[in-house]
Structure 1
Amino acid sequence: MESFDKTDKDEVSVAVPAALNQQLLQHLLRDDEQEDATFALYYPSVGENRFTALVYKLILPEEGDREVHGNVEIYPQYFKRACRLAAQEKAGVVLLHSHLGPGWQNMSPDDIDTEEGYSPAALTFTDLPLVGMTLGTDGTWSARVWERQAAGYERKWAATVRVVGQQLHMSYADHLRPLPKLRNIYKRTATVWGPDNHRSLTRLRVGIVGLGSVGSMVAEALARMGMERFVLIDFDEVQEHNLDRLMGATVHDLGQPKAEVAARQIRHAATAQQVEIAVVPHGITEEAGYRAALDCDVLFSCVDRPWPRHVLNHIAYNHLIPVVDGGINVRFDEHKQFEGAEWQLQTVGPDRPCLQCLKAYDSADVATEQAGMLDDPSYLAGLPNTHRFKRNENIFPFSMNLASLEVLQFVEMVTGIAGNYYLGTQRYDYNHGFIRVHDNRTCLPDCEFTKGIALGDSVYPAPIGFDHSATDARKRQHIS
C-alpha cells in the first residue's frame, strides 16, 4: 500500500457503494432527531489529478463506544478499534457523522477539533490520511481529507461525494464544483429533466474511452447537453476508412489524433459557458490512460476490443465509476451479403451485472490481446473471415443509434426521470426494429468483479500493461 501524508492531487473526492450508503442513512439519520457517528474504512483510488477515498466497510459503534445527547461524543476505545482494524486491512480511517439540517454541511468548531485531533494517530496507524464526512438530513454528503502540513494538519475539501448503485447520486461542494448558470441556449434541454437534474448532470466529469464513430457522437451529444468537463482517452489517429463514420472529421484531419478532433468538435458544439477538456493520447490499458480515467465520475466505453473492456469493468466496480458500454455486431452470410445487425448496451457498476458476466467480452480474448496477437498480421491471416476479431464493419446510422441509447442510459442513471434509474441490458435488433430489454440478469456467484467493489487496486491489481496497439499507433504518429 502506498503511503500518503498528503494526497498531492488537485482534487479529492469520496465514493460509497449504494448498499453501504443505505446502512449509513439508517444509522446516522435517527428518528429521535439527534446526531450520531460511526467509523468506516477506505481504500485509495489515485487518478492523474484526483485522490478518491473508496469507503468499503463500516465499523458501527458497539455498546459504550459513544454517547448521544443531541450531539454525539465518541470514546477513545472506539477510535482505537477503528485504527486497529484499518491497520490490519492496510486501509484508511473514515469518521462519519450527521447534522440536523439538509444540504451540504460545513463543520462546527467541535467537528474541526475532533477530526484534526484524530488525524495524527490515523496517519500513524494506517499511512493514509483521515477522511471526515458529514451527512445532511436529505442524504447530501460533505467530505474532506486531513493532510499533514509543516505546521500540523489541514483539511482539504472533497469536490464531490458519489453514491454508486443503480442510481448515481452526487453531492457537490459548490465552491469547488460551482453551480452552472442556466442559459437560454440549452433552455429546452434543461426543461425536459428540470434545472436541478441539469445542474447535477452538467457538473459531472465524464470520460469517453475511444473516440471513434460511437465515442465521437457521444461527445457531440454531451457537449450540446451542456456538459462542462470531459476526459478524452484514445491513442489512435484519423485514417481514411474512418471518415464515413467519424463525427466532425474531414480529409483535412487525416493523421490527426481522434481525441484532438473530438476536443475541437466539443468546443464547437458546447452550450456550457466554459468547457474543460483533457486529451489523453493513451490507451485505458496503459498507466496514463488508466490514471486519467480514475479522475472521472462516469465513463463511456466506446471500445471494440476485449482488454479495454476488461479494464473498464475493473474500474466500474473496484473504483466505483459507472461505465456505460455498447457494441455493434454486423453479420454476413457465406456470400458476404448483409444478414443482420444488432447492438447491445449496458451500464455496469455496483448493483448491476458486469461486462464479463453479460458476455460483452470473453476473458480468454484478453490474454490474446495482451500478447499482441490482435496486432500480428500473421495471426489474423490464419483466422477465418467470419472470426470475431475480423468483424469490424459498421455504418454511421448504426453508431448514431447506439450513441444515443448510451447517452439515454447515462441520463436515466443520474436523473431517474423515467422512474427507475436502471434500464437494464438493451439489445437493438435492426432486422426486426425493436429493442429487447433484459433487466433481470445478475453476475455469476463467483464473479471476481463484484467481490472487488470499492477495493481500488489494493486487493486486485490494475489489469494494465504494455499495449501493442497503442505503441504501434504512436509510432505511426511519430510520438515517442
Structure 2
Amino acid sequence: MPDLILLEAHGAELRALLATPDGSEAAAYLLLGAAGIGADPWSGEPRRRLVSHRVVPVPEEDKVSASDVHVTWSTRSFVRLLKVAEAEGLTLAVVHTHPGSHAFFSDQDDANEADLLGIVRNRSGNGHSFASVVLGGDGSVCARLWTTSHGAEPCDRVMVAGRRIHFHGRSGDDGGDVFDRQARLFGPTFNGTVRGLRVGIVGCGGTGSPTAMLLVRLGVGRILLVDDDVVEASNLNRIHGARRSDADGAVPKVDALRREIEGAGLGVAVATFKGWVGDEHARDALRSCDVLFGCTDDHDGRIFLNRVAYFYGIPVIDMGLRMVPARENRPYEMAGRVTVVGPGAPCLMCRGLIDPRRAMEEALRRTDPAAYEARKAEAYVLGGGDPAPAVVTFTTETACMAVNELLQGLTGFRGAGGMRTGRQRKFDAVEDRSTTCHPRAGCEMCAGTDVWGRGDVRPFLGRVG
C-alpha cells in the first residue's frame, strides 16, 4: 500500500485556503513528490510513498458549485496540472473537504474520481496516476492513489510532518502490558502510534546506541540501524550493549545493537545497513522511515541527511556534543545539542553545524583513501588529530534530549508549539537554552520551498558526487 507525508506547512495552507464561512465543501490541488521504494527494509516488499510538494488553488473561473455535501469544479485545471505534473515528474492530487464530518471517501467521490481516472488514461495512457485527499472538519485526513491498472489504492497511513507529527490511518498494536505505564501518561492511542513508527538511527555509537535502546523501551515497532564502523575497545565506555568480545572480534556496531534489541524480546523489527549513509544501497531503507535520528559526527553524512529531510519531508533529529577539558585559566566546555531539521525549519548548513571543507575531506577519504592520505601528509586536511573526549553520561543525556523531542512532536507534552528546532544543554553550567537562526539568502534547503517534498530526482537529492 502507498502512504502519504503531508508537510505541516502544506496542511495549514490547505485548511486556510479551503475554509468556508458557510460550512460548504471546497477543493484544491496538491502536486506530490514520490519515493519509489524498491524493497521496504522490514518487509522486503516494494511500496510507494507520496509527499506533498506544492499547493495549487482551483482557479475561480473553474469553480461551479458547492454545498455542505458537495463541491464541483471544471476539469480544465485538472488537465492543465496533469501536464505540469508529467513534465516535472510529480503526481497530481485533488483535495477536498468534509467540513461537517471526519475524512472519508463517499460514493460520490468514488464516481467522480473514476471519471478523473478516465481523463488520466485518455491523456497519458497506462503507467500514470493521480491521488485524492480528503480533509475532515475534525482534523482527520485520508488519501488514496488512483492508477490506470489497479483503480484506487488506499494510503494505509497519512503522516502530517513538521514540528508536530500526527498520524492518520492504520497504527500498530498497543504492545500489551509491557507498555501500559506510558499509556497511563500519554493516553490510550499513544502506544499504537509509537508501535507503528518506522525510525532510522544513523550512527550507532555514543549517542546512537542509547537512542536505539530508548526507542526500543518506548515500543517503536520498526528500527533501522545505519553505521559503517565496528566496535573497538575505545567505544566500550559509551556504546550501550557493546561487549569486550565485540571489540575483540571487530563486530559491526549495527550487529551488536541488533543483537541487544532482539534479545530484549519486545517485538521490535530491526533492519541494518553496514555502510555509509549516502550509499545508494541504503536509499530504500532511509526513504521508508518516518523519522531519522542523526547520531554521526560525519559532516558529509550530515549534508546528506539534511537534504533527505527537505526532499522527502522526513524529520531529522540531529545530535552533537562539544567537550573540551578544563585547563589553566579555562573552564570546562561541556554541551549537548539537539537540532530538528525539515521543511519550515532552518537547515544544518544555515545553522553552521556542517563544515563543507570537512565534508569534502571525508568524501575524499571514503572514495580515494590514497589521495586523502597524500593531502593529509601535505597538511591540507583539517582532521586527523587526537580523538574528542567522550563520557557516557553526557552522550546518553543528549540521546534522552533527542528522544524527548520526538515525544514532544508526538504528544505536545511541553505545549502546543511542537518540537524545538534547536536545543542546547550545558552540562557544566546545568543550563538549557533554545537556539535558532534565519535561513541564509539563497539557501536551497530552507530559504525557499522548491525542494520541499520534491522526492525522487536525478541525480538523487540533486546531489552530484
- The TM tier, using the shorter chain, reads 0.7 to 0.9
Aligned amino acid, residue 260 of structure 1: D
Q: Which residue of 1 aligns with 2:3?
A: 13
Asked whether the equivalents of residues 93 and 122 of structure 1 are also in contact (C-alpha less than 8 Å), the reply is: no
Asked whether the equivalents of residues 341 and 421 of structure 2 are also in contact (C-alpha less than 8 Å), the reply is: no
Q: Which residue of 1 aligns with 2:434?
A: 437
Secondary structure of residue in 1 paired with 2:277: coil
Q: Which residue of 1 aligns with 2:258?
A: 263
Secondary structure of residue in 2 paired with 1:213: coil
Write the distance in 2 (CA, Å) between the matches of 1:385 and 1:310: 19
Write the distance in 1 (CA, Å) between the matches of 2:382 and 2:332: 13
Shift of 1:464: 6.4
Q: Which residue of 2 aligns with 1:45?
A: 35
Write the distance in 1 (CA, Å) between the matches of 2:380 and 2:392: 26
Q: Which residue of 2 aligns with 1:57?
A: 54
Cα shift readout 1:29-82 (whole Å, capped 9, x = no counterpart)? 534233222222112223343422222222212234232133122323232222
Write the distance in 1 (CA, Å) between the matches of 2:279 and 2:418: 32
Which stretches in structure 2 are left out of the alignment for 5+ residues? 41-46
Structure 2 length normalisation: TM-score? 0.86
- Percent identity of paired positions between Structure 1 and Structure 2: 24
Q: Which residue of 1 aligns with 2:393?
A: 397
Q: Which residue of 2 aligns with 1:313?
A: 306
Q: Which residue of 2 aligns with 1:79?
A: 78
Write the distance in 1 (CA, Å) between the matches of 2:331 and 2:277: 33
Q: Find the partner of 2:166 among 150, 164, 169.
A: 169
Shift of 1:377: 4.6
Asked whether the equivalents of residues 326 and 333 of structure 2 are also in contact (C-alpha less than 8 Å), the reply is: no
Aligned amino acid, residue 254 of structure 2: A
Q: Which residue of 2 aligns with 1:412?
A: 408
Write the distance in 2 (CA, Å) between the matches of 1:181 and 1:332: 45
- Which of 222-231 and 118-127 deviates more? 118-127
Q: Which residue of 2 aligns with 1:35?
A: 25
What is the total number of aligned residue pairs between the two structures?
444
Shift of 1:248: 0.7
Shift of 1:217: 0.5
Q: Which residue of 2 aligns with 1:133?
A: 133
Asked whether the equivalents of residues 194 and 218 of structure 2 are also in contact (C-alpha less than 8 Å), the reply is: no
Aligned amino acid, residue 112 of structure 1: D
Write the distance in 2 (CA, Å) between the matches of 1:339 and 1:396: 17
Q: Which residue of 2 aligns with 1:421?
A: 418
Q: Which residue of 2 aligns with 1:110?
A: 108
Report the RMSD for the aligned CA atoms in angstroms: 2.9
Q: CA 1:395/1:464 → structure 2, altered by over 3 Å: closer, same or farther?
A: farther
Write the distance in 2 (CA, Å) between the matches of 1:166 and 1:125: 37
Cα shift readout 1:224-257 (whole Å, capped 9, x = no counterpart)? 1111111112222222222221111112323222
Write the distance in 1 (CA, Å) between the matches of 2:463 and 2:288: 17
Aligned ranges 1:15-414 → 2 under 5 Å:
15-47=5-37, 48-49=39-40, 50-66=47-63, 67-69=65-67, 70-100=69-99, 102-105=101-104, 107-122=105-120, 124-125=123-124, 128-149=128-149, 153-172=150-169, 174=170, 177-178=171-172, 180-181=173-174, 183-253=176-246, 254-269=249-264, 271=266, 274-332=267-325, 339-372=332-365, 376-377=372-373, 379-380=375-376, 390-414=386-410
Write the distance in 2 (CA, Å) between the matches of 1:464 and 1:395: 35
Q: Which residue of 2 aligns with 1:453?
A: 452
Q: CA 1:63/1:435 → structure 2, altered by over 3 Å: closer, same or farther?
A: closer
Write the distance in 2 (CA, Å) between the matches of 1:442 and 1:14: 29
Shift of 1:388: 7.9
Write the distance in 1 (CA, Å) between the matches of 2:345 and 2:2: 26
Write the distance in 2 (CA, Å) between the matches of 1:22 and 1:339: 44
Write the distance in 2 (CA, Å) between the matches of 1:144 and 1:306: 38
Secondary structure of residue in 2 paired with 1:346: strand
